[in-house]
């Protein structure tokens, strides 16, 4: 990585210095050309093969340099640079560079450089032309009623999608370069007149404080801006959907986009953000409310059910109705393992099947899940290795966990489920109660960018407990933005 000269002075630009830097890199093209009436000016064109649009470079840069009569009036390289910067070369996105570090950054970012050795300057033209994936439907977030556009790996395309949806001068897209070697472009996106200034400043501060070789995966950003590095609960909301990203920006939250990642990140968030889905606002209020209540109930069942089953069958048999107890006892005949061990084995098998289905190619991943769930499960019951009751309980817990829209929160609930099973083995329902209290206490201590993680349940003294949480009221009855994220403008619509 090139740095500026000693004592912070800019290092003079030279084509020979660039050649020495990239002497072993055959994808860096150096092409000398002559310009002027008598071809008296010798320039060097430098670009990365495969990252530039060759046709645009030929038509908008090389052709004017060779054919424009205006260049014949230039007496020095400085005069030639002035003509180029004034528009004699047709391309609109050009920048004058006077430092080698800036030269390297522009070159490796896909620009074409015109290097002037005598003037020790360069002009960079933004003519990126690398191949990219087209805009497609989201792969991990199903869309029922709404936009089917998802983010891709090219930052400029993603920012354009946001601009197209939010045509407001208050929308700010601030750029940062993160990664000591990759220099990955990262954008902080927010509404200047809505987002809280402290939240915006904190987001920029945390991103600017990242000291790492490069931003290659999403974890390199998420893990660096977390408040609590050791919690199992997600603290950053990610989405592939441009409409969901923009909706959160308009609420007063701050978005983060990174070059190379087909995701947008949202901060600050609360636990409610991971349970809601954009389709909630596409349904009528009673339907949306019913779906949300089902999600909250499913999350509770997913975490509690296996631990509750272990507790009542091991320590509190008197709580089970007689007929149900008889059915459980008869199903456990000849099964050699105690109930808690059966549950542990089933939970482990369930996690293995989940991971296998995710990692295998799509063509066989689904088949493996079906074989594991149906064939192997049925064979284990027939062979008296597992009781049907345990299979039903673990399967119910797993299926209810899939109702949660956020995969990150679903993963956290799966770990909580296992933790409560361990507590139930030790202390029955008392152990489950202690474990549940510890989980709730941990959630109460979490903060995301200074805001309570359990907001709005714990941040507004109950004043907004049912306002767009469990119950979704009509939009005209909910004219305010979330109060706990401290937006500058609390009103999002005028109902007068």
pLDDT surpassing 60 at residue 3: no
Shared domain check, 440 and 317: yes
Shared domain check, 304 and 249: no
469 in a domain, yes or no?
no
What pLDDT, on a 0 to 100 scale, did the predictor assign at position 1? 41
Question: Where does 237-314 show beta strands of DSSP type E?
Answer: 237-239, 254-258, 264-267
Higher pLDDT, 295 or 349: 295
Q: What is the DSSP-derived secondary structure letter of residue 306?
A: H
For helices 388-401 and 322-331, angle between their N-to-C axes, nearest 10 degrees: 100
Q: What is the DSSP string of 188-244?
A: EEEETTTS-HHHHHHHHHHHHT---S---STHHHHHHH-S-TT-SS--SEEESBHHH
Shared domain check, 205 and 116: no
Q: What is the DSSP-derived secondary structure letter of residue 241?
A: B
pLDDT surpassing 70 at residue 454: yes
Total tally of structural domains belonging to the chain? 3
What pLDDT, on a 0 to 100 scale, did the predictor assign at position 276? 87
Give the least confident one: 50-54, 66-70, 105-109, 145-149: 66-70
The enclosing H or E element of 35 equals strand 28-35
| Residue 195 neighbours by CB under 8 Å, 6+ apart | 249, 252, 253, 254, 487, 488
pLDDT surpassing 50 at residue 286: yes
Please state, in angstroms and rounded to a whole number, the distance separating the CA atoms of residues 299 and 318. 27
| Mean pLDDT to the nearest integer, 67-87 | 81
pLDDT surpassing 60 at residue 395: yes
What pLDDT, on a 0 to 100 scale, did the predictor assign at position 210? 87
| Mean pLDDT to the nearest integer, 395-417 | 90
Per-residue confidence band for 246, with pLDDT thresholds at 50, 70 and 90: very high
Give the least confident one: 306-310, 352-356, 361-365, 425-429: 361-365
496 in a domain, yes or no?
no
- Report the chain's mean pLDDT, rounded to a whole number: 84
Shared domain check, 396 and 302: yes
Shared domain check, 249 and 319: no
Range of the domain at 253: 155-269
Name the residue with tokens 């199992």. Answer: 232
Q: What percentage of the chain exceeds 90 in pLDDT?
A: 24
| Mean pLDDT to the nearest integer, 364-376 | 66
pLDDT surpassing 80 at residue 249: yes
Shared domain check, 228 and 357: no
What pLDDT, on a 0 to 100 scale, did the predictor assign at position 295? 92
24 in a domain, yes or no?
yes
| Mean pLDDT to the nearest integer, 155-175 | 91
Q: What is the DSSP string of 308-354?
A: HHHHHHHT-GGGS-HHHHHHHHHHTTT--S-HHHHHHHHHHHHHHHH
Q: Does residue 456 have a cis peptide bond before it, meaning omega lies within 30 degrees of 0? A: yes
pLDDT surpassing 80 at residue 331: no
| Mean pLDDT to the nearest integer, 302-325 | 86
Q: Which of 78, 104, 125 is the last residue of a domain?
A: 125
Please state, in angstroms and rounded to a whole number, the distance separating the CA atoms of residues 7 and 142. 54
Shared domain check, 286 and 193: no
329 in a domain, yes or no?
yes
Q: Is 468 left (phi over 0), alpha (psi -120 to 50) or beta?
A: left
Shared domain check, 47 and 172: no
Give the least confident one: 225-229, 318-322, 434-438, 490-494: 490-494
What's the sign of the alpha-carbon dihedral 418, 422, 425, 427? Answer: negative
Half-sphere exposure of 294 (CA within 13 A, CB side): 13
Shared domain check, 295 and 439: yes
Residue-wise pLDDT for 204-243, tens only, equals: 999 988 888 888 887 788 888 888 888 999 999 999 999 9
Helix (H, G, I), strand (E, B) or coil at 185: strand
Residue-wise pLDDT for 456-469, tens only, equals: 777 665 566 667 77
49 in a domain, yes or no?
yes
Regarding beta strands 121-125 and 41-48, do their DSSP bridges make them parallel or antiparallel, or are they unpaired?
A: unpaired
Beta carbons of 389 and 335 less than 8 angstroms apart: no
What pLDDT, on a 0 to 100 scale, did the predictor assign at position 434? 95
With CA atoms as reference, report the closest residue to 272 among 141, 433, 421, 451. Answer: 451
Please state, in angstroms and rounded to a whole number, the distance separating the CA atoms of residues 264 and 149. 13
Shared domain check, 370 and 243: no
Q: Which of 105, 125, 145 is the last residue of a domain?
A: 125
Helix (H, G, I), strand (E, B) or coil at 419: helix
357 in a domain, yes or no?
yes
Please state, in angstroms and rounded to a whole number, the distance separating the CA atoms of residues 426 and 96. 70
Shared domain check, 291 and 190: no
Query: How far, in Å, are 64, 406, 420 from residue 305 at the CA level?
Result: 73, 20, 10
Tally Cβ neighbours within 10 Å of residue 182: 17
| Mean pLDDT to the nearest integer, 397-416 | 90
Give the least confident one: 38-52, 280-294, 460-474: 460-474
What pLDDT, on a 0 to 100 scale, did the predictor assign at position 281? 81
Q: Which of 215, 247, 269 is the last residue of a domain?
A: 269
421 in a domain, yes or no?
yes
Please state, in angstroms and rounded to a whole number, the distance separating the CA atoms of residues 111 and 46. 9
Shared domain check, 211 and 62: no
Radius of gyration for the chain, computed over Cα atoms and rounded to the nearest angstrom = 30
Half-sphere exposure of 28 (CA within 13 A, CB side): 17
320 in a domain, yes or no?
yes
Please state, in angstroms and rounded to a whole number, the distance separating the CA atoms of residues 171 and 357. 41
């Amino acid at each position: 990585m090139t740095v500026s000269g000693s004592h912070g002075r800019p290092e003079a630009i030279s084509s020979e210095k660039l050649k020495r830097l990239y002497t072993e890199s055959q994808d860096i093209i150096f092409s000398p050309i002559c310009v002027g009436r008598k071809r008296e000016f010798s320039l060097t064109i430098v670009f990365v093969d495969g990252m530039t649009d060759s046709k645009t470079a030929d038509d908008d840069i090389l052709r004017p340099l060779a054919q424009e009569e205006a260049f014949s009036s230039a007496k020095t390289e400085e005069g030639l640079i002035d003509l180029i910067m004034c528009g004699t070369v047709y391309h609109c996105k050009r920048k004058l560079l006077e430092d080698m570090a800036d030269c390297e950054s522009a070159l490796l970012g896909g620009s074409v450089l015109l290097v002037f050795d005598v003037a020790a300057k360069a002009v960079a033209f933004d003519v990126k032309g690398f191949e990219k994936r087209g805009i497609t439907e989201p792969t991990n977030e199903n869309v029922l009623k709404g936009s089917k556009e998802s983010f891709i790996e090219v930052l400029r395309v993603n920012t354009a999608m946001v601009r197209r949806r939010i045509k407001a001068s208050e929308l700010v897209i601030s750029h940062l370069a993160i990664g000591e070697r990759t220099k990955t472009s990262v954008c902080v996106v927010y509404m200047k007149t809505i987002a809280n200034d402290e939240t915006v400043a904190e987001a920029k501060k945390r991103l600017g404080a990242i000291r790492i070789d490069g931003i290659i995966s999403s974890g390199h950003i998420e893990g660096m801006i977390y408040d609590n590095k050791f919690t199992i609960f997600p603290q950053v909301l990610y989405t592939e959907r441009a409409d969901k990203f923009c909706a959160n920006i308009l609420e007063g939250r701050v978005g983060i986009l990174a070059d190379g990642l087909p995701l947008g990140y949202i901060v600050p968030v609360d636990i409610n953000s991971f349970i809601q889905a954009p389709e909630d606002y596409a349904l009528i209020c009673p339907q949306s409310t019913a779906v949300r209540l089902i999600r909250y109930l499913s999350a509770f069942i997913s975490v509690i059910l296996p631990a509750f089953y272990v507790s009542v069958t091991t320590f509190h048999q008197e709580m089970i109705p007689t007929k149900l107890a008889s059915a459980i006892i008869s199903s456990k005949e000849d099964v050699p393992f105690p109930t808690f061990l059966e549950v542990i084995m089933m939970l482990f098998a369930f996690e293995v099947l989940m991971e296998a289905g995710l990692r295998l190619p799509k063509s066989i991943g689904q088949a493996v899940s079906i074989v594991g769930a149906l064939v192997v499960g049925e064979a284990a019951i027939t062979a008296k290795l597992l009781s049907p009751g345990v299979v039903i309980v673990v399967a119910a817990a797993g299926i209810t966990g899939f109702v949660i829209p956020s995969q990150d929160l679903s993963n956290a609930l799966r770990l909580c489920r296992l933790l409560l099973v361990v507590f139930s083995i030790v202390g029955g329902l008392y152990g489950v109660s202690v474990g549940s209290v510890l989980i709730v206490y941990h959630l109460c201590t979490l903060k995301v960018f200074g805001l309570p993680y359990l907001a709005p349940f714990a941040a507004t003294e109950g004043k907004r407990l049912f306002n767009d949480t469990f119950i979704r009221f009509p939009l005209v009855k909910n004219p305010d933005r979330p109060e706990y994220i401290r937006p500058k403008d609390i009103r999002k619509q005028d109902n007068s």
